[in-house]
Amino acid sequence: MESGEAVTQTERALLGSVLLDNSLWPQTDGVSAEDFARDSHRRIYRCMAAMFEDQQPVDEITLSQELEDRNELAAIGGREYISDLDYGVVPENITEHIKSVRQASLERRISRQVELLAKTCEMRSPDKLSDLREQAQRLLDSLDPSSTGNDWRALFHSYDETLNAPSAQFAIDGFLQEEGITLIGGLAGHGKTLCMLAMVRALLEGGKLFHHFEVAKRADRVVYLIPEAGLGPFSARLKTFHLVDHIRDGRLFYQTLSSPKQLSLTDPQLLEAVKGADVFLDTAIRFMVGDENSAAEQKLFADNLFALQRAGARTITGAHHSPKNFSTQNSMTLENVLRGSGDIGAMLTTCWGLSQIDAAKNRIYIQNVKARDFQACEPFIIQGRPSINETGYFELTESPGFAGSLGDNKAQAGRPETPGKEKKQAHARQLKEQGMSYRDIAEALDVKTTTLHRWLKEANF
């Protein structure tokens, strides 16, 4: 088996040959990205394949730009690494390079299979013999000379890819996941657009969404599509959230009902615009054709959203209406937060449900009703008035863990003020200064913990 350095040089020579002479690309037909030992080379090969499929020229400049658009250039070593690929390369030797790369890939697969067999031999399991037979057959298949040709295994993710795959990553920690679809569900007029604009501002500025969720990496570009609002009303909201400067700086792009061309999610220009961008659809259902209760239409809609992901969108967030009877519910579930077929919930990474519990103050109760591959926080409450008009930010009045249930908050919204509230508030502050816990103070004053937390918050305590 060749040394690691020799394998790396051979892989570089193969890639550099194609970079020098694009006409050699068809000769790599029997090679897959998984045949490369280095992750950087797998990324480069996949990028080359996509460019050739789109009939783009592949050279040092175009390849570097495409990798940068995919947010992968830094991971492979930058433009300098690309410019050095063809150093000392003799394109006429590409046949030998292809053979060497595939042979090294085969030897790595065989080594891994032998290691797995050895580990299984040491195990104590009732299925040990059947596992050994299956693994031995895989080893024999790898040793079969015909297995080095076009192999169905190349259709699937490899062992190396699995080991090196990153864990779930967030654009906004604990709230907005990358490489996924997030929906914000709620009744009309309950603050979905305002919450999404707060997300846009956080992504563009950094800091914390709702003064709680940390922005992990600021957005390079945000694309916001709102085909059910005119330019005037929506631009007023953009000004309220202090987003106008980001439009001037070329980081926020939006389209309204007033735009001359209404985009579909499959529009080639839009697919180009979303590369590396955070995308917002307000509302998402406006981009669906047909009946929202139809499973077939839902599947087509999901495919269109996945196409945005494949085009390179970092995150996709959509607003979605709740059914009318949600107003009578005292709890949130994925099923009662999102209107339409249940299929729409299945494709999501994350869903947040919204319910306005105080129209005058624009207090909004927010709860996570779906979180894939992460532990979501407890419900929380934000307030828009008067803070949004004054600063362009929501206030966080009840942080996660202190908001209570939706039913409790709805009941409190229609309930008269607690008798002796001011006296109890003063007593609560005294007990807190003495070091008593929220639970003990609430019991002593005969109030709910959520009520106590709100009192102390109102008193800036």
CATH of the domain at 432: 1.10.10
* Lowest pLDDT segment from 45-49, 331-335, 426-430: 426-430
Question: Cα separation of 373 and 379, whole Å?
Answer: 18
Neighbours of 134 (CB within 10 A): 12
17 and 138 together in one domain: yes
The domain that contains 202 carries what CATH number?
3.40.50.300
Question: Cα separation of 199 and 370, whole Å?
Answer: 18
Higher pLDDT, 326 or 429: 326
Q: Which long-range contacts (CB under 8 A, 24 or more apart) does 65-70 make?
A: 67/43, 69/275, 69/276, 69/312, 70/275, 70/276, 70/312
**pLDDT above 60 for 417:** no
Question: Cα separation of 173 and 327, whole Å?
Answer: 30
- Structural domain including 58 reads 4-164
338 and 432 together in one domain: no
pLDDT tens, residue by residue, 90-103: 888 898 899 899 88
105 and 160 together in one domain: yes
Last-in-domain residue among 138, 164, 190: 164
pLDDT tens, residue by residue, 93-140: 898 899 899 888 888 877 877 877 777 777 776 666 776 777 677 667
Last-in-domain residue among 136, 164, 192: 164
The domain that contains 40 carries what CATH number?
1.10.860.10
183 and 311 together in one domain: yes
Report which secondary-structure segment, H or E, holds 46: helix 39-53
Which residues lie below 8 Å from residue 69, measured CB to CB, with a gap of 6+? 275, 276, 312
341 and 439 together in one domain: no
- Kindly list the distances between the CA atom of residue 42 and the CA atoms of 48, 382, 446, in Å, as whole numbers in the listed order: 10, 45, 63
125 and 223 together in one domain: no
334 and 224 together in one domain: yes
pLDDT at 88: 83
318 and 391 together in one domain: yes
**Number of compact structural domains in the chain:** 3
pLDDT band for 3, please (50, 70, 90 cuts): low
Question: Cα separation of 86 and 91, whole Å?
Answer: 9
220 and 361 together in one domain: yes
242 and 308 together in one domain: yes
400 and 423 together in one domain: no
Q: What is the mean pLDDT of residues 438-455?
A: 77
* Lowest pLDDT segment from 25-34, 121-130, 335-344, 356-365: 121-130
101 and 223 together in one domain: no
User: At 379, which amino acid appears?
Assistant: P
* Lowest pLDDT segment from 204-218, 280-294, 400-414: 280-294
Last-in-domain residue among 135, 164, 193: 164
Residue with tokens 């449900």: 353
pLDDT band for 192, please (50, 70, 90 cuts): very high
